[in-house]
Amino acid sequence: MESIARSQSATGPGVPASTERPLIYRQSRWTRLTHWLWAISLFFMLLSGLQIFNARPQLYIGKQSGFGYHNTILEIGAENTSAGPRGFTEIFGHRFDTTGVLGWSGPAGNETARGFPSWATIPSYYDLGTARVIHFFFAWILTTTLLVWLVASLINGHIRRDLAPRLDDLKRLPQDIVDHAKLKFHHTREYNTLQKMAYGGVLFVLLPLMIITGLAMSPSMNSVLPFLNELLGGRQTARTIHFTVMLLLVGFFIIHILMILAAGPINELRSIITGWYRTDPTAHDDKTSEA
């Protein structure tokens, strides 16, 4: 039961439970609880964050925003053209027409100039003050959850057992990429290499970077940790990184959902809600996981 089935291809969901496909207890209550707290807080932080971004839909590099000089790398805006108002997005000097989504959007006939459209922000109307209330509330939830997860996962062995990369992971990486590309999934207790990289990347790189760049934007925290902005390249660079990490997290979310759908959503959802996961038929393999 603890060995890895490698030769079997995934069986679709809905196949009746059989003794060959045993249910195992895969996700501890700490993993499940923190997973959903993250899901909720990241949802609200994203949509309130986009509202905050709309107050200044531009990104800069450096200590300050260039008004008398140029250091803007991204701008979302609206402009008047002969064809009426259009929304545009300019990235590194390349301008794209993004009318309807970025820069100029809203119900037909009632479009307004706004960075991200109202369906992507909380509140749906422009309200920076309220978005900040929501953003910082969930910033506390997110950060606390990350700390709780870290402590629990160090104690219950989740990090050491499931996330820590091993030499084996490196060896099976090419095969893992091929398997993912073919949508061939192995349902085992262990995470595969790409999963470890994705989860580890989010938990140990992206989320901490999000918190650090968030703190670096705070004028009061700058008085406590003045080196943060020096390290990151200035407050406006920190803001740009904060935004970029958001894009990476959204990218992770999309792939995460696609992988769940492809690997069997019922089984995957059950394991992150109840902890129980149906594995592939056990097969004795040359490679055995640690007991």
Q: Tokens at residue 202, please?
A: 């989010």
Stretch that binds another protein, among 106-114, 126-134, 202-210, 281-289 (CB under 8 A): 126-134
Integer Cα distance of 255 and 249 in angstroms = 10
Of 96 and 125, CB closest to another protein:
125
Contact set for another protein, span 66-105 (CB under 8 A)? 66-69
User: Which CB, 96 or 136, lies closer to another protein?
Assistant: 136
Contact between 269 and another protein by CB under 8 A: the answer reads yes
Q: What are phi and psi of 261, to 5 degrees?
A: -60, -40
Kindly tell me which of 24 and 173 has the beta carbon lying closer to another protein: 24
Q: Amino acid identity of 80?
A: N
**Is residue 145 within the footprint of another protein (CB under 8 A)?**
no
Stretch that binds another protein, among 80-88, 129-137, 159-167, 281-289 (CB under 8 A): 129-137
State which of residues 7, 140, 255, 283 lies at the interface with another protein (CB under 8 A): 140
Q: Which amino acid is at 79?
A: E
Decide: is 121 part of the binding site for another protein (CB under 8 A).
yes
Identify the residue among 5, 10, 23, 40 touching another protein (CB under 8 A).
40
- 90, 74 contact by CB (below 8 A): yes
Q: Which stretch binds another protein (CB under 8 A): 13-21, 124-132, 171-179, 247-255?
A: 124-132
Residue 25 contacts by C-beta under 8 Å, 6 or more apart in sequence?
Answer: 275, 276, 277
Q: Decide if 92 contacts 244 (C-beta within 8 A).
A: no
Residues near another protein (CB under 8 A), total:
56
Of the candidate residues 12, 110, 219, 247, the single one contacting another protein (CB under 8 A):
219
Minimum CB separation of residue 103 from another protein in Å reads 17
Told to check if 282 binds another protein by CB under 8 A, we report: no
Going by the DSSP 8-state scheme, the letter that residue 118 receives in this structure is G
**Does residue number 63 form part of the binding site for another protein (CB under 8 A)?**
yes
CB 115 within 8 A of CB 102: yes
Please, where are the H alpha helices in the chain? 29-54, 128-155, 158, 167-181, 193-201, 207-216, 219-224, 227-232, 235-263, 265-273
Q: Does 34 bind another protein (CB under 8 A)?
A: no
Overall size of the chain counted in residues: 291
Looking at the Cβ atoms of 65 and 156, the one nearer to another protein is: 65
Pick out residues in 14-33 that bind another protein (CB under 8 A): none
Residue among 15, 20, 96, 125 that touches another protein (CB under 8 A): 125
Q: Does 118 bind another protein (CB under 8 A)?
A: yes
- How far apart CA 21 and CA 67 sit, in angstroms, is 63
In the DSSP assignment, the letter for residue 63 is S
Number of Cβ within 10 Å of residue 274's Cβ equals 14
Is 84 buried (19+), middle (13-18) or exposed (0-12) by CB count in 10 A? exposed
Instruction: Name the residues that contact another protein, by CB under 8 A.
Output: 36, 39-40, 43, 47, 52-53, 55-56, 58, 60, 63-69, 118-125, 127-130, 132-134, 136-137, 139-140, 214-215, 217-224, 226, 229, 235-236, 239, 269-270, 273-274
